[in-house]
Structure 1
Amino acid sequence: MAKFASFGMLAAAATLAQATSLANMCTDTKAKATVPSTGLFPGIVTSVDVTANPVYNETVADEAYYPDATFDYCNVLLNFWLPAPEKFNNRWVSTGGFGFAINYETSMPGGFHVNFDDVFPLANGTSNLNALYMFGYQAHHEMSSIGKAFTRNSFDLDDSTKLYAYYQGCSEGGREGFSQVQRFPDEWDGAVIGAPALRYGQQQVYHLFPQVAEKTLNYTPPYCELEKIVSLTISACDVLDGKADGVIGRSDLCKLHFDFNPTVGEEYHCSSSEVPPNRAAQ
């Protein structure tokens, strides 16, 4: 069977009283009884493949996309996260991966890491088209369709109760996000899609250019010089989206209107104790 591991996490926020407690809800018997059995993707998941166990006091800290928190959840293998019933707020969240990974184990506890280049090409050198389609759009569609039906059954939602569905992902997750909202727009109530890693031919050149330029010029800018460049860019482009908030919301207009030539020769100061924030935290 296909094992879906922590692609989906159900956000915790308010109160719903269909089940009395996490311990009562999070059992093998309950999970097997609530797996959708018809109409979605027959043969992919069967009830004998499903196990469930409650997890208490799980902690997430220092994540880019989630606030620090300690929480309880139901760990279900297929593997979807179900919050404690009193914390469920009719929300489903799907997360994407990074790089060549369709999911990323550090996004949330219990995740897994499967890379596209682990399964493509095939051993005989030919294209693994099934993996290509799955990583491109199909696997996430299957996961979210099964997961949302499973969630409705787990929390005993009737047909008149809305289950809100959201997508969040960056890079590989951005590509996945665009594939989902383009192909299956009716499945989502909202999506946060960051840095979709598209146009690979240009993208890989962009990744290499700074290092090649530094090597060619035999000069590596200090941290404070890069900070100065960022500050000047924000000052020039912040208001182009109509709001002065320290964020460049219209990078397209920035590229059109920001003349960087006058910034050449601008003074900057490097403190002897100044280090990048990520290094200071190590």
Structure 2
Amino acid sequence: MDSSGFNLNFLSKLLTTGFPLLASWNLSEQHAKCLALKSSLALENTTILDVSYVPADTTVRPHGTPHESCMKKAHVSASLCRVQFSTATSATSAVRGEAWLPDEWYGRFLGLGNGGLDGCIYYKELDYGSALHFATVGTNNGHDGSVGRPFLGNEEVLNDFAFRSIHVEAVIGKQIVAEYYGRSHAKAYYMGCSTGGRQGTQTALKYPEDFDGIIAGAPATDFNRLLHRSGMLGCYVGAPNIDLADTFITPELWKVVAQEILNQCDGIDGVVDGIITEPDACEFRPEELLCAERNGNSKCLTRPQVEALRKIYSPLYGNGELIYPRFDPGSEGISPLLFAGKFPLYTTDWVKYAVFNTSDFDFSDYGPQHGRLMDDINPGGIATFDGDFSAFRDRGGKFLTYHGRGDPLISSGNSKRLYDLVARTLGPASLDAFYRLFLVPGMGHCKDGPGAARFGQLGGQNAVNASAHNVLLALVDWVEGGVAPDTIIGTTEGGATRMHCRYPQRSVWDGSAYGCED
């Protein structure tokens, strides 16, 4: 406190936290312009929750109290204006989002997707996009937390999750961008994986004008069948009553299974490196692990366990129709968790709260009949398995998708299945001009794994500032320069690189390196 009795520390805090009257006297033009948004933004059905100017290398926290499953704080790499908003989508639903508007902006807009049953804003992706000079927007998908209970009794919240939140993100986000920078974006991009990949696919089909380029990683398309398949995988190993099941496989035995699969299939591509390059070429023979003794031990399997594995590594059919591709050999990294004897959380929540609209559901008799009901009800039209991308193609949109060949949650065969559906619908000759799929050996779900799984995707993994190594920048080159990516170069955790091929090309070892062949 100075001699006049005024608290200088208090004044300093007011100046640096954006008090509307005092701060405007000494703040930079960028800072002042940011704070002005609080009064200048007038968006339909939208409440501005907060506007703040955030210097580079700062930690921020979400508005209010975040759900326990969501991030509690986030790092900000680039100086930016942060706008937090909530848009009412009906009388009983709203989408909450954030726009991160970097000081150094290259005229590009980036929308972000979510994952699982997520109602979480992805702050690492907000930071990644804004650090690359995109005005970047993400939302909570219309509810809070990675849970399905908010769907119970509220069809509008379900609609936000199924199709509406990304459209809100695009419409409201672009208006915020135009107001702040004084001009509209030049190009709009989208990036998401898993549920985010499905959201990107759904947006291309339902709102083809929203984005010029879309990255849809490991898309959770044919959503109901995906979650039904997950439920059936649980059934194969005894869920939900593993104490009564003779098919349950312990975590110790899963290690044995994973090693046996590598023993049988790792060398098919000519290299023994702990990676199965082409899982479709792996005809796993679980009977090789059959115990000589009836009761089994920690190094071998009983006959019921062998039969359970045979089902897991086989496609799921119903009435002669393919329901969902098989679990990829080489995807066993989290098998002890995935096959722990409980129904997968996402399947449990989706079936209870979205499909049957109840909090009380008995999974003890779960079976094919539930999959048929999920297909028939298709809550919110969420399935997302349609080959007609013509509207997105015809307006010049570019669709880039990737999928790990070691993905334990969404079989990589499903991305091939969607590609083939689009090819049958629009004709294979037209696909290369707007749709490219990259299959990534040794990558798990969206990222990680022993393979070259880092190429500028979620959270900026290995965010090399070069389009050959960075899937987001490759999309920019394609949209803005007409340079379509033929390959993507990934990097392993240890720094080694590998070229990934666009489907239907195959990754082939020539004795010294991997190349791509038709």
TM-score normalised over the length of structure 1 = 0.58
Residue in 2 that maps onto 1:142: 168
Distance 2:54 2:208 in 1: 33
Letter in 1 for 2:98: F
In the alignment, does 2:203 pair up with 1:180?
yes
Distance 2:200 2:51 in 1: 28
Decide whether aligned partners of structure 1 residues 247 and 258 sit closer, same or farther in structure 2, where only a CA change above 3 A counts: closer
Letter in 2 for 1:174: G
Decide whether aligned partners of structure 1 residues 91 and 237 sit closer, same or farther in structure 2, where only a CA change above 3 A counts: farther
Q: CA deviation at 1:264?
A: 3.0
Aligned length: 217
Task: Tell me the secondary structure at the aligned position of residue 185 of structure 1.
Answer: coil
In the alignment, does 2:88 pair up with 1:92?
no
Distance 1:121 1:224 in 2: 38
Q: CA deviation at 1:177?
A: 2.5
Decide whether aligned partners of structure 1 residues 102 and 233 sit closer, same or farther in structure 2, where only a CA change above 3 A counts: farther
1:91/1:164 contact within 8 Å kept = yes
Correspondence 1:91-170 to 2 at 5 A = 91-104=108-121, 113-114=144-145, 117-122=148-153, 128-158=154-184, 162-170=186-194
Distance 2:274 2:116 in 1: 30
Task: Tell me the secondary structure at the aligned position of residue 150 of structure 1.
Answer: helix
Calculate the aligned-residue CA RMSD, in Å. 4.2
Task: Tell me the secondary structure at the aligned position of residue 203 of structure 1.
Answer: helix
Bigger Rg, which one: 2
In the alignment, does 2:94 pair up with 1:76?
no
2:196/2:217 contact within 8 Å kept = yes
Distance 1:31 1:207 in 2: 50
1:59/1:70 contact within 8 Å kept = no
TM-score normalised over the length of structure 2 = 0.35
1:169/1:193 contact within 8 Å kept = yes
Q: CA deviation at 1:155?
A: 1.8
Higher RCO (CA-CA < 8 Å; seq separation 6+) = 1
1:174/1:193 contact within 8 Å kept = yes
* 1:130-176 alpha-carbon deviations (Å, 9 max, x no partner): 22222211122112211022213322225xx6133223132x32332
Distance 2:248 2:275 in 1: 33
2:237/2:249 contact within 8 Å kept = no
Query: Out of 196, 201, 224, which is 2:220 matched to?
Result: 196
2:101/2:177 contact within 8 Å kept = no
Letter in 2 for 1:187: D
In structure 1, runs of 5+ residues without a counterpart are 1-19, 61-67, 123-127, 271-275
Distance 1:75 1:130 in 2: 27
1:232/1:263 contact within 8 Å kept = no
Correspondence 1:208-247 to 2 at 5 A = 209-210=236-237, 212=239, 216-217=246-247, 219-222=249-252, 224-229=255-260, 231-232=262-263, 235=266
Stretches (4+) displaced over 6 A: none
